Amino acid sequence: MQEIKANLYPCKHCNETGTCTSGEDGRSCQACVKYHELKNSKEYIGLACGTCGGLGQSEPMTERLNKRTKPFLAMGVVFMVLLFLFLLGVLKNPHFTEFLAFSGTLIGSITAFYFNNTKNT
């Protein structure tokens, strides 16, 4: 697979400590209580920061989305092509063989891209 590098930035919510003290009197804030799925009626102290997961550094949401878009798009294309192949086969479409040749090439290309071990540096 590809080597993925994360760009981590200092978490401003917990001041890089990893422990939420953003609430009143140094308690954990309601957002972190909800992140940990705890009851809101109680006051908590020392919960791990919900923004960075307790690491003290966080990765922006846009970077996470950018890293996940290509694989999800590739999986979506492969599953859609397989679905179309199944439907064309069940309906005995006269163009099934042409679509089979096209889809085999497309799925093979996507598979080769994601399982290729060479590194481009």
Task: Say whether 58 sits in a helix, a strand or coil.
Answer: strand
DSSP annotation of 18 reads S
Q: What is the pLDDT of residue 1?
A: 47
User: What's the mean per-residue pLDDT of the chain?
Assistant: 86
Which tens digit of pLDDT belongs to each residue from 52-109? 888 888 887 788 788 888 889 999 999 999 999 999 999 999 999 999 999 999 999 9
pLDDT, residue 2, reads 54
- C-beta separation of 10 from 56 below 8 A: yes
Structure tokens at 79: 């599953």
What are 58's strand-pairing partners? 9
How far apart CA 102 and CA 96 sit, in angstroms, is: 10
Angle at 51 between CA 48 and CA 52, to 5 degrees: 70
